[in-house]
Amino acid sequence: MSPQHLQHRLLPVHMFLPRETVEMLKQYGADFPRDLALEQDMTILFSDMRDFTELAERYHPHEVYATINASLAIQVRAIHAHGGSINKFLGDGLLACFSGEGKSERALGCVLEMLKRLPENEGKKLPCRVGFGLHSGRVLLGMLGDEERWEFTVVGDVANTAARLCGIAKPFQALLTESVAADLPSEKKERYCSYLHPQMFKGKKHAIDIYQVDTEADY
């Protein structure tokens, strides 16, 4: 196989790496600082399939794989359409970041789209009931790993809280914190966010007020 032919077969690096990582590689190249850590205001979104263990036990791996892939494809399209970035895939779920102007409003629009599209896929693949958690605040984007394997990822309490919320969300339910709700335009908060209750998480000193995204209202 000629070098020219091989070159045409290579896929763009942005298909495999988070947008933030690609931007850092473009900026620093071979001089990428190994202790790079950047602080930034972000709205973090976690997603995760409910009852995945049962699904994996009952069905053939290829069916499970196709179902996860179909679910993630819907989520990826929605996240990119609303200006978000996929930081990493987490088996049957993902971690996405929204930054810049209107970050929480765009994250809300993204979740509303996913909550509409994902149930429509139920009849085409295996049951794929996804839950979501969103939290907003100051995060640290930093390098983790060593010379064998590096990852530029989100670190800190904001990501941890979003993951905790995702963990208690019911199938096709999106939970968000007061910090996300407060970051929304008032009309969007009133229309799409229903207050549930304060939630205490292990290791936290104070309870967190949580809201549910109302899927009945048209975005």
What digits encode the pLDDT tens for the residues 53-90?
A: 887 888 888 888 888 888 999 999 999 999 999 999 98
What digits encode the pLDDT tens for the residues 138-170?
A: 998 877 777 777 777 888 899 999 999 999 999
Q: What is the pLDDT of residue 50?
A: 85
Report CA Rg, the chain: 19
Which structure tokens are listed for 123?
């009849």
DSSP reduced 3-state for 67: helix
Q: Which domains does the chain have, with CATH numbers?
A: 41-213 (3.30.70.1230)
pTM: 0.82
The angle subtended at Cα 200 by Cα 195 and Cα 203, nearest 5°, is: 145
The region, left, alpha or beta by phi > 0 then psi within -120 to 50, assigned to residue 156 is: left
Q: What is the pLDDT of residue 97?
A: 95
The span from the CA of 150 to the CA of 172, in Å, is 33
The span from the CA of 114 to the CA of 50, in Å, is 15
Query: Please, where are the H alpha helices in 2-120?
Result: 3-9, 19-28, 52-58, 61-81, 103-120
The span from the CA of 189 to the CA of 32, in Å, is 41
Q: Is the pLDDT of residue 7 over 70?
A: no
